[in-house]
Amino acid sequence: MEQQLEMVGRAFVDHYYNLFDNDRSSIGTLYQPSSMLSFEGQKLQGSEDISAKLNALPFGQCKHAISTIDSQPSSFSGGIIVFVSGSIQLLGEDYPLRFSQMFHLIPTVEGSFFVQNDIFRLNYG
């Protein structure tokens, strides 16, 4: 069970950041109308608002480097909590920014997952 959680968590993280870095306009497909995002303290709900926020960020190209991925089962049947730490390198910047992000993944009837909750913070200091 634990190994499967880790595999799903890793596969989701790889997919999410690949979309974010290479096809950000498609990232809204990972969310649903009930999904919630807290981005640096700003709270958004729904796939359209979340997608609009992520696509309006003041940078284009970027590259995520993942340091750690921790996954746990959630109290929602089949749900998974995924916690990610890493860095993001913005085009034209000398130094990467450290970040932490948490996802609550909920299974779909089609057999995949969607992001119910997403919390993102840059790590300063």
Query: Along the 125 residues of the chain, how does pLDDT read in single tens digits?
Result: 678 889 999 999 999 999 999 999 999 999 999 999 999 999 999 999 999 999 999 888 899 999 999 999 998 888 999 999 999 999 888 999 999 999 999 999 998 999 999 999 999 87
The total number of structural domains in the chain stands at 1
Report the pLDDT value the prediction gives residue 87, as an integer from 0 to 100. Answer: 97
Q: What is the CATH number of the domain that holds 41?
A: 3.10.450.50
- The phi and psi torsions of 12 (rounded to 5 degrees) equal -65, -45
Quote the domain boundaries for residue 24: 1-122
CA angle 121/123/125 to nearest 5° reads 150
The pTM for the full model equals 0.94
